[in-house]
Amino acid sequence: MIDKGKLLQFVNCNILRHHNIIREDVWVRDGKIVNPEKIFFDEKIAADQKIDCGGLLLAPGFIDLQINGGFGVDFSNEVENAEAGLRKVAKGLLAHGVTSFCPTIVTSPPQVYDKVLRKIRKQDGSCDGAAVLGIHVEGPFINKEKKGAHPENCILPLEKGYETLVNVYGTLENVAIVTLAPELHNAGEVIAKLTSKGIAVSLGHSVANLHEGEVAVKHGASFITHLFNAMLPFHHRDPGLVGLLASDLIPTGKTIYFGIIADGIHTHPAALRIAHRTHPKGLVLVTDAISAMGLEEGTHRVGQLAVEIREGRAFVAGTNTLCGSIATMDQCIRTFQEATACSIVNAIEAATLHPALTLGISSTKGTLDYGADADFVLLRDGLEVMSTWIAGECVFKDSSAATK
């Protein structure tokens, strides 16, 4: 709980601010990062408490825009216990530096949407768990040819456009992102309507060509769901949705963002390098983690499926068939940085600033700018999370953390 009016000063730290790592203190009051100049010259007061960061890197808290569950919880299947499942995941994510996330609901029957989308509500972060920025609804308006693990019998067309979407979802009150296939009939009208309501539209699970992707962008789409996965492979005559990273028809001043799974399994290191070197400002790290994320090695019953965690990967029990990502966001950042040899700043901003920009919330999330929420992580060498802070309160601390 925020101690109203209490002034905190985080000292002995390097901070990531304005695309650079600098040596500077961070001042926090009422859950927000404050400008020390006003404190020095106007208020002329000292901090109520100084927190020694032990020389660690202080960076914005991580944001995950696509996560299907974790710690044994599957958001799409926790219909009756959605609130309890959400709390469990939100709490578990704190150990991995995630301070905000979008619970993701995959293609499901309409009755599931009607219940789950009303139960998973936007909420602030605290010691009880990371903030919920809104739901990422991935489907059911996708292409059956690129369904991936989505149940084909639940995939639907946009027969009556936006009216169909509303009828299926039941409510859009808690929705932040909708993934759909842009080649579907009436997709343009739906994209324009959703974006007019402040909901981000992502293109994915699609066989769209580049032109169809560009038309969707003109209607307001601004994100691509897990680049390279569940879409047409890059072709030199028509690069498909991947071509949006280098399209010359993107409206002036608009940035196309794209999610990418850097778990060392779903996306080859060379593909990570290509994406990063082609369009670094649009790259957003997502885990796309399934419910097995966070579980120990061994066999677990997850929903109706027996899953075996073996050597850091999730398999259908008794087989060598992979069944989804179980990487945490801090692991994805390290894997991405190692694969691309990018700077630490680039690696962290792909999990902080870029997802915040995708949702249009960079004034409060994903940065350490004055006025932003005091959500941050302390990282040691190797980008390992030592502690996680929300609104200036320590909500997770590793047993070996140097922070006092």
Asked if residue 354 belongs to a known ligand binding site, the reply is no
What are the structure tokens assigned to 330, written together?
Answer: 């801090």
Measured CA distances, 15 to 87, 164, 334 (Å): 30, 47, 18
Is the distance from CB of 333 to CB of 348 less than 8 angstroms? yes
Asked if residue 236 belongs to a known ligand binding site, the reply is no
Asked if residue 188 belongs to a known ligand binding site, the reply is no
Asked if residue 167 belongs to a known ligand binding site, the reply is no
What are the structure tokens assigned to 114, written together?
Answer: 């009607």
Asked if residue 230 belongs to a known ligand binding site, the reply is yes
Asked if residue 346 belongs to a known ligand binding site, the reply is no
Asked if residue 136 belongs to a known ligand binding site, the reply is no
Residue 248 is a catalytic residue: no
Sequence letter at residue 390: I
Asked if residue 205 belongs to a known ligand binding site, the reply is yes
Is the distance from CB of 383 to CB of 60 less than 8 angstroms? no
Q: Which of 308, 311, 304, 274 is nearest to 292 (CA)?
A: 308
Asked if residue 292 belongs to a known ligand binding site, the reply is no
Asked if residue 237 belongs to a known ligand binding site, the reply is yes
DSSP 8-state class, residue 369: -
Q: Is the dihedral of CA 395, 291, 151, 119 positive or negative?
A: negative
Q: Which among 64, 74, 263, 288 is annotated as catalytic?
A: 288
Asked if residue 322 belongs to a known ligand binding site, the reply is yes
Q: Which of 206, 159, 227, 168 is nearest to 215 (CA)?
A: 206
Instruction: State the Cα angle at 281 between 90 and 337, rounded to 5°.
Output: 65
Binding site listing: 138, 149, 205, 226, 229-230, 237, 266, 322-324
Binding site listing for substrate: 149, 229-230, 237, 266, 322-324
Which residues are identified as catalytic? 288
Binding site listing for Zn(2+): 138, 205, 226
